[in-house]
Amino acid sequence: MSRIRRLPKQLAEKIAAGEVVERPASVVKELVENAIDAGASRIVIDLEDGGEKMISVTDDGEGIDPEDLPLVFERHSTSKIRELEDLYAVKTLGFRGEALASIAAVSRVELVSATEGQSGARVEASGGERGELKPEGAPVGTRVSVRDLFFNTPARKKFLKKQSTELGHITNLVQNLAMAYPRVHFELSHNHRKVFMLPGTEDVRERVGQFFGGELARDLIDISHDEEAMSFRALLAPRQHTRANTRSQFVFVNRRYVRDTLLHGAITQAYRGFIESGRYPVAFLFLEIDPAEVDVNVHPAKLEIRFRNSSQVYATILSAVRAELEKTWPRTELTMDEGTLDERRARIKQKIGDFFLRSEKPTRQSSLWESGAGAPGHPSGPGFLPGGGPPGAILPVRGVMQLHNTFLIEETDEGFRISDQHALHERVLFHEIGTKLRQSSIGSQQLLSPQMMAVTEQDVLTIEEHGELFSRVGVDVKPAGPRSLAIHAIPQVLSPEETPAFIRDVLDRLEEETEERPFDERLRDLAAALACRAAVKAGQALSGPEIESIVKRASDARIQETCPHGRPTTLYFSLGELERRFGRK
Ligand code: ADP
Ligand code: MG
């Protein structure tokens, strides 16, 4: 008996639509890209309820000829390519001719368009069924309104996240398109409230400033590189602006925002040695390459691309960016931190001095998240520095010393151990913060005047949503405008200078989440980020008492071998091993 059936057209349409239209942001992407392809200089986006209820995009582009209007909702109908060869030289953002068809299959769409010298017309489609064309007076350009997204695909509708999350996706997306097309005026409103209005500008640096603040934009290192096969411009952030992931590297290939491991890798690699390992630089890369050298047809949303000669692209970017950074930061002043050595010492002294003043009874009970047991097979208590003297006391008889301002080496009963000072201190702080959080909340310190921080619209939404999480660790931070935050109070363990970086780390993590997570789990992440930011850094010279405080608290807390990020904290060397290695045994 035959079992293969051709699917009914409507069902086939819905399935195909799923490829292109995943969420409201996908609709916005397709509509705005169409407006850009039509040569618009002004694009206005209105949303209701995170785009679920309504998305409308109005442009002043060339419009659609009334003769073409009956075709716009037909699958595989496009004005952008005609034959196979064109596919290898696409200069437009769209070319598959399936976006409007897909959108119309899963919503109610209304499109009004007019071209120069012709009166306008309107056409509607709902659930894949197109209505009649009707004349309608309209300015040159196109307006597409999409209502009730997924009204006929309840399963997909169920997968939509909170409105603020969907709105966050949309603002990110529009931000990326706006950076690729700085000359275009963009406006975005949500529920009749303006989210942003960006006047067109000649300079992409200014557009970057519209999103990330003038200060960062001013400090960006600007490089241009030209060769026959490819050219690029890169705006590189100063090295103190590092992030926990590559999400703050904005990469555009032929004015298309992409996430490309190769290009992120080239940028990150170029900063190697200038920033802490495990951190990522902030950068904006605009690459122009012969369309024949890159395949954009490998991903439904064209977010990923494939280069024909990827190693060449990688090497060119890496070496050009690296050369510029080396010019900017000559090797001799290669340090991990700002300020002179003495200033840094003074800062750290104060930080560590604070801990002495707040000296606590050692807590051996397990913290919020971990068992407090020492690492199996390794001595934690006895061999670890004997009880320390008063603050400022000289080092105990048992030797501890700092190597290369980065490692602490200690004699133990069984041999010696060597710790990474940052990792060890981070681990200590993580333990202490966890214990405090379990008892109540951690100490907070009010700032005399609020510290302002430039962020994106999405960050502001994230802060509104997760205020409680921050207040548990002693951060009082509130939105202070569409793109800025005001920090009113900070955790006692953290310096004011480190606080924005800490908030940035947490925002990055929260915004990366793809699903809801329990509050406690998020709190644990916050504690880890806080410990990391509050800990002394590699490359910082420490005084005897400072070293002693870290080591003693590590011993009190029976710190395990790994820091919260999973890197090792301490390596152990036994006398037996030393004797063997020296041929004594
Ligand atoms: P594609 O962009 O891949 O060609 P779409 O389904 O997005 O496919 O659009 C189909 C066609 O409708 C486009 O090729 C274009 O001719 C026309 N079109 C869509 N939106 C606009 C717009 N805003 N302005 C002018 N023409 C448009
Ligand atoms: Mg399109």
Q: Please check whether residue 276 lies inside any domain of the structure.
A: yes
CA distances from 379 to 407, 561, 563 (A): 19, 11, 17
Total-model pTM: 0.67
Which residue ranges in the chain fall short of pLDDT 50?
332-338, 351, 353-397
pLDDT for the residue 45: 98
Concatenated DSSP letters of 220-269: -EEEEEE-SSEEEEEEE--TT--BSSGGGEEEEETTEEE--HHHHHHHHH
Tell me how far apart the alpha carbons of residues 178 and 311 are, in angstroms, rounded to a whole number: 29
Please tell me the distance from the alpha carbon of residue 318 to that of residue 579, in angstroms, as a whole number.
46
Shared domain check, 174 and 69:
yes
Same-domain pairing of 138 and 31: yes
What lies within 8 Å, CB to CB, of 474 at 6+ separation is 441, 442, 443, 444, 445, 489, 490, 491, 492
The whole-number pLDDT of residue 341 equals 54
* 566 and 485 belong to one structural domain: no
d(CA 530, CA 149): 40
Contact present, 377 and 386 (Cβ < 8 Å): no
- The protein residue with its alpha carbon nearest to ligand 1, atom 14, reads 78
Domain residue limits at 128: 9-198
Enter the tokens of residue 244: 């926990």
> Does ligand 1 lie within 6 Å of residue 24's CB atom?
no
Q: b/e for 471-487, b at 16 or more Cβ within 10 A?
A: ebbbbbbebbeebebbb
Give yes or no for residue 94 CB within 6 A of ligand 1: yes
* Domain closes at, from 151, 171, 198: 198
Dihedrals φ, ψ of 244, to 5°? Answer: -80, -10
- pLDDT, residue 565, reads 64
SS3 95: coil
Query: What is the structure's pLDDT at 397?
Result: 35
Query: For position 552, which CATH number holds?
Result: 3.30.1540.20
Residues 162 and 210 in one domain: no
Helical residues (DSSP H) of 358-498, grouped into ranges:
421-439, 457-472
Of 168, 198, 228, the last residue of a domain is 198
H-run or E-run covering 57 = strand 54-59
Let me know whether 410 and 463 are in one domain. no
Residues 146 and 256 occupy one common structural domain:
no
Across 547-563, b (16+ Cβ under 10 Å) vs e yields bbbbbbbbbbbbbbbeb
Q: Is 34 in the pocket of ligand 1 (CB under 6 A)?
A: yes
CATH number at residue 303: 3.30.230.10
Hey, what are 388's tokens? Answer: 């320390």
* Among 34, 36, 69, 90, residue to substitute to test ligand 1 (most atoms within 8 Å of Cβ): 34
Q: Ligand 1 pocket, 114 CB below 6 A?
A: no
CA gap 437, 539 in Å, rounded: 30
**Residue 10: its pLDDT value, please?**
80
Whether 106 is in a domain gets the answer yes
Q: Is 103 in the pocket of ligand 1 (CB under 6 A)?
A: no
Query: Is the CB–ligand 1 distance for residue 80 below 6 Å?
Result: yes
pLDDT of residue 155: 83
Among the listed residues 240, 392, 223, the one whose alpha carbon sits nearest the alpha carbon of residue 322: 223
The answer to whether residues 245 and 322 belong to one domain is: yes
pLDDT of residue 5: 86
What local confidence, expressed as pLDDT, does residue 14 receive? 81
Length of the chain: 585
Which protein residue's CA is at the shortest distance from atom 18 of ligand 1? 34
Residues 360 and 316 in one domain: no
Domain count within the chain: 4
Q: Around ion ligand 2, which residues have CB less than 5 A away?
A: 34, 94, 99
Contacts of 518 (CB under 8 A, 6+ apart): none
> Is 383 found in the same domain as 321?
no
Provide the token pair at 236.
């590189």
Cα–Cα distance for residue pair 108/144, rounded to 1 Å: 10
Count helices and strands in the chain by DSSP H and E runs? 16, 23
